[in-house]
Structure 1
């Protein structure tokens, strides 16, 4: 068989001789890099954050899904290393992009990280490489944006290099699934690219699910998260309606989920957080404008979910007024939980940040406690909160606040002590009912 970029790369993948490069060593990239290394590939991780390289070189993982032991094992076997030198991409046979895809302040897609990464890849691109986008985006990004930048080199997708898309499906804090056990959607620009995608990911992931095109794979990821966004918005709306009727939405959901068919439980909260659900639906909303098609469900869900932090603070102000005779503007509030979900340190798009901001906009004082987040780092939208530190929980500190707002129900919290010492508690997660700690001074929101 005559040598070709496809046959050469296919052979390297099948024998685990392909060198993989993973760009972006965050919640998606680092677990993927270690999974690939475990499967026998040599992997180089790329990241512009020098702090990550310092930590990795010391054998310290900053991602819960990757233990220090797993990291040290792959480094000792010389299957994993990290660098900020993007010229090293020329040595990689497979290059995987795992960089952020946020929204602009106008809720339009911000592909600046993807585009900058693609330009770095283009500077090192050579025949026989497979380039994969894993970052969540709108249908058409891989073929229209990534491909366009890479082909400015004069090399052609499907002939000289190969292009694919495989959406990430990480779920921080979920110990039931790991990168290797979560089914992997794969697609490529042409049949050979798709074949390479199946072979490469199939070497590291238990189940590979090929689809017909990169745009289809991009749509799969959006559909998964839009499904969650719309259903969470539904229960958030039901929460407000049922509360007006004197009905506990949490009790309704617990009873409804006993039905063994035709129902799936979703739960209300103080707002949406994380890198997916608050952002991804708007990528499709933006793209749909090109086709002059409305996305009413998606946009309405976004409006409802985005309004939840302000709704919660309004309930807090009402509870302070009715139960303590105090205005929010004269109160000190402790927000419990800064992370967007329980038992993880991830604060991306966390509604807790917005809650703190709204409380202070209304004249109140807000602190936070989070056993996983010692200090608020730099964020794109909440620069004024940078550097604030988690307060300790003890009887003196708890009694010093006019109310405790439960935003994230971490397990590492003594809720019985809160129930005993806090003068007022606003519970957005139903944790006090679950623990049998409901009392007169605990209000659901």
Structure 2
């Protein structure tokens, strides 16, 4: 008799009774909200992270993620439904393990799956029969089967018999108060019929709506499709901005009028470039994988080129405006960047175009500073380590008027735009922030 044949029924029963223990690896923007949703659904959750500071914050009931209020964290932690640790040996305690680790790009814009691979090796050290292992990180189709499964099966345990594999892409939207993890429809898929059944049982207990698909490759493709759609449409409107600007047409006015059409149109907006952990990165996972099948992805790659080029376009517009309005060369200019975060009202700088804007300005010998109430100091990043330690400056008349130009890179709501318009000698608005507030000045240049 196969000693493992009852592992799936036992796990299914535990999931249905909510007596199964869940583990979440990676307690960042995806992992911590997911852990809270699982705990609030009635499961016991153990969070894992390599950063001891995060564990200390959790133990002190101090959330470092905007989507998780301190009160919610304190409630689940105090009730014993959630705890966090750096001790990965405790993965053996967990019946379900969700992986929420980064999937960045290398310098050559190839997928970097080292975080996923290293996490799977850690799981393999304590892997036991009856566990469900789920990947939530965004990746290319085939990762669950081609990368995760071989690492885990090297233990001698067999997927689909001893343990089970699944994929469910994260759908977090930092700063969006209209949705939370439990209310966003969740795409779920298992590696085989039994794994699919377990995936539906687990996530069906955690979120309001699940969307089962036929397999993990399909689920992986769903996430990429969502973000490729956005990347391509943002690239399109960025290109239209350049074209219409040359014609003397305001792209923002065009979009406002076009979106009144009740069918056949969806508004996307231009900006200084793409930021965040998904849209600037995910399309390249698909272009990389498509080479294996000799399939070109010209449309996606062109979109990437357009979006990547936007920060340099903004700097060129700034240089032109400085020369035309004040006669100051960019190399001698003092420039203030408003907003370091990649989107408004969040403390998230991942892939932020503001970092690239600062880098280009420094390359052009300009003096650069920034203001962002959400980010007091530039942290260390993979690509912009030389910016680490720069601190946000205050927005006072004396400080702002001392710069030759102010660039609105991120349109945080709490900024006093009327004051900026009166204090700054030149304003480069990449977000249409002033026009949306009916602030008019000849010193404002849209870019």
Q: What TM-score do the two structures reach when normalised by structure 1? A: 0.99
Q: Any idea what the Cα deviations from partners look like across 1:224-253, whole Å, max 9, x if unmatched?
A: 000000000000000000000000000000
Aligned to 2:142: 140
Q: 2:317 is matched with which residue: 315, 318, 339? A: 315
Aligned to 1:203: 205
Q: Any idea what the Cα deviations from partners look like across 1:101-146, whole Å, max 9, x if unmatched?
A: 0000000000000000000000010000000000000000001100
Residues in 2 aligned to 1:304 and 1:3: alpha-carbon distance in whole angstroms? 53
Residues in 1 aligned to 2:261 and 2:415: alpha-carbon distance in whole angstroms? 32
Residues in 2 aligned to 1:260 and 1:126: alpha-carbon distance in whole angstroms? 54
**Post-superposition offset of 1:166:** 0.1
Residues 1:156 and 2:158 aligned together: yes
Q: 2:132 is matched with which residue: 116, 130, 133? A: 130
**Post-superposition offset of 1:307:** 0.1
* Structure 1 residues 182-201: aligned runs within 5 Å: 182-201=184-203
Residues in 2 aligned to 1:38 and 1:425: alpha-carbon distance in whole angstroms? 46
Q: Any idea what the Cα deviations from partners look like across 1:242-288, whole Å, max 9, x if unmatched?
A: 00000000000000000000000000000000000000000000000
Aligned to 2:285: 283
**Post-superposition offset of 1:412:** 1.2
Residues in 1 aligned to 2:328 and 2:243: alpha-carbon distance in whole angstroms? 26
Q: 2:333 is matched with which residue: 320, 331, 334? A: 331
* Structure 1 residues 186-335: aligned runs within 5 Å: 186-335=188-337
Residues in 1 aligned to 2:389 and 2:62: alpha-carbon distance in whole angstroms? 23
Q: What TM-score do the two structures reach when normalised by structure 2? A: 0.99
Aligned to 1:27: 29
Residues in 1 aligned to 2:446 and 2:173: alpha-carbon distance in whole angstroms? 27
**Post-superposition offset of 1:327:** 0.3
| SS of aligned partner of 1:368 | strand
**Post-superposition offset of 1:3:** 6.8
Q: 1:363 is matched with which residue: 362, 365, 387? A: 365
**Post-superposition offset of 1:334:** 0.3
Call closer, same or farther: CA 1:61–1:155 in 2, change over 3 Å. same
| SS of aligned partner of 1:137 | coil
Residues in 2 aligned to 1:265 and 1:366: alpha-carbon distance in whole angstroms? 33
Gap regions ≥5 residues in structure 2: none
* Structure 1 residues 418-437: aligned runs within 5 Å: 418-437=420-439
Task: Give structure 1 regions of 4+ aligned residues with deviation exceeding 6 angstroms.
Answer: none
Residues in 2 aligned to 1:50 and 1:313: alpha-carbon distance in whole angstroms? 39
Residues in 1 aligned to 2:5 and 2:330: alpha-carbon distance in whole angstroms? 73
Q: Is the 8 A contact 2:5 2:161 kept in 1?
A: no
Residues in 2 aligned to 1:110 and 1:438: alpha-carbon distance in whole angstroms? 46
Residues in 2 aligned to 1:3 and 1:36: alpha-carbon distance in whole angstroms? 27
Q: Any idea what the Cα deviations from partners look like across 1:332-383, whole Å, max 9, x if unmatched?
A: 0000000000000000000000000001101101100001000000100000
Aligned-residue Cα RMSD (Å) equals 0.7
Aligned to 2:8: 6
Residues in 2 aligned to 1:408 and 1:336: alpha-carbon distance in whole angstroms? 6
* Structure 1 residues 61-140: aligned runs within 5 Å: 61-140=63-142
| SS of aligned partner of 1:355 | helix
Q: 1:175 is matched with which residue: 155, 174, 177? A: 177
**Post-superposition offset of 1:438:** 2.1
| SS of aligned partner of 2:63 | coil
Residues in 2 aligned to 1:357 and 1:14: alpha-carbon distance in whole angstroms? 52
> How many residues are aligned here?
444
Gap regions ≥5 residues in structure 1: none
Q: Any idea what the Cα deviations from partners look like across 1:136-181, whole Å, max 9, x if unmatched?
A: 0000000110011000000000000000000000000000000000
